Amino acid sequence: KVDRGFDHGVFIPLKLIYPNADIPIIQVSLQKNLDVKVHIKLGKALSPLREQGVLIIGSGQATHNLSEIRSIANSNTVLKPIQWAIDFTDWVHQTLNKINNKKYDEVENDLTNIMSVAPNARKAHPRTEHLVPLFVAYGAAIGNNNNQDLKYERIHNIIAIESMSLDSYLFN
């Protein structure tokens, strides 16, 4: 829909990265079925744009379960990360880190089956719409011929208010 404003998944990161909004932006919607393979394929279709200098950002969260967030209002308690969030976030990182060893098929298989093989996946994502942008970004990075020069790096690692992972990943 062309007359709709940007979703918060686009607006918030770009407000921080490019506060003057002086770059052209195209928002790509997720497919309603939230299928991992479909979104990796979407990323692969977008991959040639990277060669033209287009920055592809997948904005979501490594964990997103709002019912697990404890209230911090009127509390001086430091809320440390809880184990299920740590376990899931670490699994995502370890899986993506296999890119650096060129284990592309293993990474894609693990991502495709993430909800059944990753520890605490359903707890981390009762619905996967905040995880799916990662699959698009991965697909764009790997391209259609398993980009042999691809490197992965986790550039930010924090879990806020016990269970909200705000990890950031870079594919270059």
Tell me the longest C-alpha to C-alpha distance in the chain.
53
3 found inside a domain? no
22 found inside a domain? yes
88 found inside a domain? yes
- Domain with residue 27: its CATH number is 3.40.830.10
pLDDT at 161: 86
Distance CA 125, CA 162 (A): 15
45 found inside a domain? yes
The number of distinct structural domains making up the chain is 1
Which domain range does residue 132 map to? 8-171
Own/partner long-range contacts of 164-169 (Cβ < 8 Å, ≥24 apart): 164/61, 164/63, 164/64, 164/69, 164/85, 165/61, 165/62, 165/63, 165/85, 165/88, 165/89, 165/124, 166/61, 166/62, 167/62, 167/89, 167/92, 167/93, 169/96, 169/134, 169/137
Distance of CA 53 to the CA centre of its chain: 21
Residue 75 has pLDDT above 80, yes or no: no
Higher-pLDDT residue of 7, 85: 85
**pLDDT per residue as tens digits for the range 114-157:** 999 999 999 999 999 999 999 999 999 999 877 778 999 999 99
Residue 71 pLDDT grade (very low, low, confident, very high; cuts 50, 70, 90): low
**Residue 163 and residue 81 in contact, taking contact as beta carbons nearer than 8 Å:** yes
Residue 70 pLDDT grade (very low, low, confident, very high; cuts 50, 70, 90): low
153 found inside a domain? yes
pLDDT (average), residues 83-87 = 96
Higher-pLDDT residue of 148, 108: 108
Task: State the average pLDDT for the chain.
Answer: 89
1 found inside a domain? no
